Structure 1
Amino acid sequence: MDLGLAGKVALVTGSGRGIGAEIARTFAREGARVVVSDIDLAAARQVAAALNAGGAQAIAARCDVCSKDEVAKMVANATEAFGGVDILVNNAGFNKDRYLTKMDETEWDAVVDTILKGAFHCSRAVLPGMMARKWGRIVNISSRSVFGNPGQTNYSTAKLGLVGFTRALSLEQAKFGITVNAIAPGFVETELMRANPTYETLRDTAVAKNPVGFLGAPDDIASATAFMASERARYITGVTLYVTGGRFSS
């Protein structure tokens, strides 16, 4: 199936590794030009270099999505290199798990600001160009944790906030030919997850609770994201797609 992504410009935040990097690779395989953005510039450069070596067009950008000025610079560089941004994937985020009674304000702010303020800054920066061209796609990477996980009040709150952000922004932008959707991954095996000292316990618990009986891979999330960003999904907006293997609540 031709997704109609050839020649489009896709900006993927937090794409120096893990799910974000796989999303960047998937867009590149579909013929999109890719902006690999990460707070770790070395990681972003490594992903972009691999894409270029494979015949794609990609640039790397170092960006702290909590900074309005850094986001503006990133979008300006993308516009200079490729003429604009057609697709934004708000993927930047991380977790700092701790029970609420032991969580300090910095741990709350770091997680919530990166996920929610990051989506705010990045979306505001790319929307004027999309509105002018009457075409655009914003895909927000949420999580199954919107149903709640113990020790993740900050992360669950932020990821559920992205669902509300998605719904509201989709209504604002539909008349401009811009769709806004969310992808909510379940347990996905990434390098970061495998590095967790309790990985085997987490994996076994997730498999036992997953109706399909196996865990997701980064490519599962990337494929869903590419579809939502494509012309094939032009009649879908304001939706959260749960890519969880059928697992919802804990």
Structure 2
Amino acid sequence: MDLGIKGKKAVITGGATGIGAAICAELAREGVSVAFTTRKPDDAAAALAALGGKEAGHYAIVIDIAEEGGPQRMADELRANWGVPDIVINNVGDTLGVTDPLCPITDWRRIFRLNLEVHIETNNCFIPSMKEKGWGRIVNISAGASMENSGPVPYCAIKAAYTAYTRSMGRVLATDGIVMSAVLPGVVFTERGHWATVMEERPEHAEKYLEERTVLKRFGRTDEISPMVALLCSQQASFCVGSIVPVEGGQARHYFHFNGVG
């Protein structure tokens, strides 16, 4: 299928490793010029080289986007050195190791900052230019934990807000030619992710989790998430206003996945 986005520009936060890197590669194969953020210079160089480098139209930004003003600094650097994206993928997110439901409010704020506030700021940087063009795609990488009690309380609560933001803002942007949607990955193995650590330190816990909590009895792969993200970035996604799309191998146990327009 021709996704119709060859020649477009996309920015992916947290795009040097894991799901973000898979999304970058998927879009690059579609002829999209990709810019991505990462906190680590070595990761930036390796990921940029894997995409074909600056000469292929790609760009890496070394930044901690969760720092105060991070999204605006990213936007300013892109405008000065690469251009303005037609597509935004908000991929960064983490529990930050906060598991205590009675944690201090400062921990709640850290979770909120990384998993929602940064994405709102990033979108606000680029939505005006999308409106001017009359076209744009924003895909928010949320989590299955946004739809059910699956993970630490602060993380689940903020991801639920992130998914609700997608659903609500998607309706607001629709008449401007901008499609905002969200992908909810299930349990996905990445080389430096949570489950890589669990597999190394507590393999019996990982095996028990896969046996009892998943249908396919295995982790998802990053290349099982990226094609759906690419589709939601495409010309074919014009009717996916506010769509919330689970890609989780049947793992979730709730009934109310909100797909489509409503």
Normalized against structure 2, the TM-score is what?
A: 0.87
Q: Quick one: distance in 2 between partners of 1:25 and 1:69? A: 28
Q: Quick one: distance in 2 between partners of 1:126 and 1:166? A: 15
Q: 1:131 to 1:199 in 2, by over 3 A?
A: farther
State the superposition RMSD in angstroms.
2.0
Instruction: Show the counterpart of 2:231.
Output: 227
Instruction: Show the counterpart of 1:148.
Output: 149
Q: 1:68 to 1:110 in 2, by over 3 A?
A: closer
Q: Quick one: distance in 1 between partners of 2:25 and 2:220? A: 17
Identity of aligned residues (%): 28
Instruction: Show the counterpart of 2:33.
Output: 33
2:196 paired with 1:194:
yes
Unaligned runs of 5+ in 1: none
Number of equivalenced pairs: 248
The amino acid of 1:64's aligned partner reads D
After superposition, give the CA deviation of every residue in 1:142-183 in whole Å (9 maximum; x if it has no partner): 111121125x11111121111111012111111110000000
2:218 paired with 1:217:
no
After TM superposition, the structure 1 stretch with the greater mean CA deviation from structure 2, 211-220 or 140-149, is 211-220
2:51 paired with 1:51:
yes
**What secondary structure is seen at the aligned counterpart in 2 of 1:195?**
helix
Normalized against structure 1, the TM-score is what?
A: 0.91
Q: CA deviation at 1:225?
A: 0.6
Task: State whether residues 65 and 74 of structure 2, in contact with CA within 8 Å, keep that contact through their aligned partners in structure 1.
Answer: no
Q: 1:217 to 1:81 in 2, by over 3 A?
A: same
Instruction: Show the counterpart of 2:257.
Output: none
Task: State whether residues 59 and 82 of structure 2, in contact with CA within 8 Å, keep that contact through their aligned partners in structure 1.
Answer: no
Q: CA deviation at 1:129?
A: 0.8
Q: 1:110 to 1:203 in 2, by over 3 A?
A: farther
Instruction: Show the counterpart of 2:76.
Output: 76
The amino acid of 1:100's aligned partner reads P
Task: State whether residues 189 and 215 of structure 1, in contact with CA within 8 Å, keep that contact through their aligned partners in structure 2.
Answer: yes
Instruction: Show the counterpart of 1:239.
Output: 243
